[in-house]
Structure 1
């Protein structure tokens, strides 16, 4: 039902085919740890300073740690579901969906497919918005450098969104896109570059002089926001943090690269522990240093909110890295969806798969993929709101894919008795995370609705 390609967020652009080639070598805990770190650290870090500003010095770091602990624990449960039955000799599950099908079956497989495809579609919108904002930021940075920080350097992001859409229309027609494994490596390098630059600039700004006030509880009611805004933004910040931690979706693919003995689930638990620890430390640096640099007024995207003006060339380079990363990342997300739709249509109408000429032109593919990218582009133009979209994506991915399915599969595989202490604890964890997801999603939708009150497509400049 769902393609075996990994559904990746942020710099999670290591293709399953690349991971499959690694599996032939039989990689170890260190390489699995590297995969995890590469998979988690990405565009999600850009919103962490803003999230910290909503949560404050107490709740902010605690939230990062809690999400890390939950992710570590549930990924451990998921790692135990790599094999059916015996952890050493049991049947392997090569993808997340195979694990759900083997352990749960029925409507769970449909729900898993829905969550994955919804995540793909939403991420296409999120990547389009983020890349266009970063492209616009390059021009803004140059404008501020040459004309002064008080100059009107606002940009119409709609034009950049359309430009990104045109590029994706062309890329979406490429044949054998899954063979471009080198694109994944470039994207991973880009993500580390802009994340590291964000941390470095935050350190420099903190040392030279913070630009805003920080507090123990974050934005202050009556000073920065009103009481309703405080509640909505707090929950939206939770969605942004959840987005930054979603890597469970490709855990099975990473685990499939490991050699045994020891059992793959044991190695994966160790790799997850190290990977999440390193990632959390990096997130603490980015979130806390960004908050210390800009205080409660921290922008939604630390590299495009223009707290950083100089060195302008470094800001330009960081944003260029984001654009390059997301140009490839968009296709990595959308190609499995393309394949699923085209496969279903070809099964019903075989003639739709016919190719013409040396260019292997397929009319259905040309029309369908162009229409799909056009819809993504249109929605991005109508809702170019970085933090709200990240909050929605984080809520879509976090509870079902990081918590619900691992918990349900573990209960079914280990035959945990209903209403036992362990069953109650696992279900309670899932229910609490479900409530957080609902709250984050509702707050992010509210953020979109609020922004739409003042936003006019093609006219509003930022």
Structure 2
């Protein structure tokens, strides 16, 4: 057996320090974490995305991106334990960034680090924008219910972004991802709930219309150039919807063994991505079938979903609860990296070591505050909120966020690590297939990036 094909359980027996018998994660907690990360704000834009590209290209794009994500997930799972031929040691990669540094070296690790930090930050920005839109939608639906659909029920997003920021400032004091299991389970339930609501409202609208809207070419426009940019944005939105590779190794590190963490994580990834893709197809298809050319950019906050207002309110409340958890699942990865670096750089610093306990009520658990955690995480939340206020454009920001990081982090680095891990011979059949796969994904990503930038400029400067 090639050294790159070693068995994880065998390695853990030979290296007791690699065992995690004190961990409690299972395939279902991993599925909850993944669904919390994957079924996020992206699901709300999928009806709009399908509307831009039509009934054939839309569902096919969803299936392809789901497949790409699953392939990358399998590659990343394999790299959790990596045998370093230079020193003969087995290294446990507990984060995506550590894996790239370990397997591909310093230079590519540095490039990955820049993209990695940007990706987590942009996810926080997108979740802030989406939560604000959903909170505003609750107020709008109640306003329309009381005042009628002709009432001037327009409210600014920034106040709701501020509310979300306050919530995240408190939630960000959770010490690490090991303490977010309950938050992920709640968030995963919320994601299923509002997805079902979106599907149900879409189907109800189809039944009410008595026909299925839309066509195989998508929304028609008299401007062919604009159509091209909108297709690019739509594919970027779909790419954003399948984005969890960055936190896969952190989730894998929470799993108990036996069975091996790799086996459990591959099973969890398969279940979660298959489930997410089915939900995406249902949400996107039902929304486009309901509204056709009038499909809104955000399924639960756009045209037509003001009645029944209580169901709209509940669906948007589920979105907010889900994104509170999703924000933490992503951000905790960045928090851990920065705080670990600071602790290693300044081991004697009281700023990192001092911890104070607070108890606001006998009914609430004890709350432990650390100066470094409080200052850094609060600053991070303020930054994501500020950028969200500057660019509050849902579909365009989603497309930009999805396109700029999908290829390097979901395609390129996992494939390159797989080449090293499995010692794939250059110009072999497998090497050629994966190279073609990488190049095709790169071309698609460039197209979506150009389309999303055009959309952001047009929205920001009113062109």
> TM-score per shorter chain, which class?
0.7 to 0.9
Is 2:33–2:184's contact at 8 Å kept on the other side of the alignment?
no
Q: 1:413 to 1:285 in 2, by over 3 A?
A: same
Deviation digits for residues 317-374 of structure 1 (CA, Å, limit 9, x no counterpart): 1111112222343344334434444554562593543748766876666555444333
Change (3 A) 1:210 1:333: farther
Pair 1:335–1:268, CA change in 2 (3 A): closer
Deviation string 1:281-318 (CA, Å, 9 cap, x unpaired) is 22111111110011122111101113212110010011
Measured after TM superposition, the shift of residue 92 of structure 1 is: 4.3
Q: 1:246 is matched with which residue: 238, 243, 246?
A: 243
Distance 2:319 2:42 in 1: 11
Per the TM alignment, residue 268 of structure 1 is displaced from its structure 2 partner at its CA by 4.7
The CA distance in 2 between the partners of 1:138 and 1:443, in whole Å, is: 31
Aligned partners of 1:345 and 1:352 also within 8 Å: no
Structure 2 residue ranges without an equivalent (≥5): 1-18, 359-367
Alpha-carbon separation, structure 2, partners of 1:142 and 1:395: 35
- Specify the alignment match of 1:284 in structure 2: 281
**Partner of 1:304 in structure 2?**
301
Aligned position for 1:7: none
Say whether the 8 Å CA contact 2:36–2:325 is kept in structure 1.
no
Q: What corresponds to 1:424 in structure 2?
A: 432
Shift in CA distance, 258/430, structure 1 to aligned 2, threshold 3 Å: farther
Q: Matches of residues 49-448 of structure 1 in structure 2 within 5 Å?
A: 49-85=47-83, 92-172=92-172, 174=173, 176=175, 178=177, 179-209=179-209, 213-222=213-222, 226-256=223-253, 257=255, 259-260=257-258, 265=262, 268-345=265-342, 347-348=345-346, 350=349, 352-353=351-352, 355=354, 368-448=376-456
- Contact 2:195–2:279 (CA under 8 A) maintained in structure 1: no
Aligned length: 428
Distance 1:34 1:344, change over 3 A: closer
1:136-191 CA-partner distances (Å, limit 9, x unpaired)? 0001101111222222211111222233233334444x363653542222222222
1:41 has 2:49 as partner: no
Shift of 1:404: 1.1
Q: How big is each residue's C-alpha offset from its partner over 1:80-107, in whole Å with a ceiling of 9 and x where there is no partner?
A: 3233359xx9654333334323322322
Q: Aligned partners of 1:198 and 1:323: how far apart in 2?
A: 15
Structure 1 moving runs of 4+ over 6 Å: 20-23, 360-364
**Aligned in 2, Cα 1:149/1:21: closer, same or farther, shift over 3 Å?**
farther
- Asked if the contact 1:130–1:386 (Cα under 8 Å) also holds between the matched residues in 2, the reply is yes
Aligned 8 A contact 2:247 2:330 in 1: no
Q: Give the Cα–Cα distance (whole angstroms) in 2 for the partners of residues 208 and 176 of structure 1.
A: 49
Distance 1:325 1:264, change over 3 A: closer
1-structure distance, mates of 2:164, 2:268: 36
Distance 2:279 2:171 in 1: 33
Q: Which ranges in structure 1 are unaligned for 5 or more consecutive residues? A: 1-19, 456-462
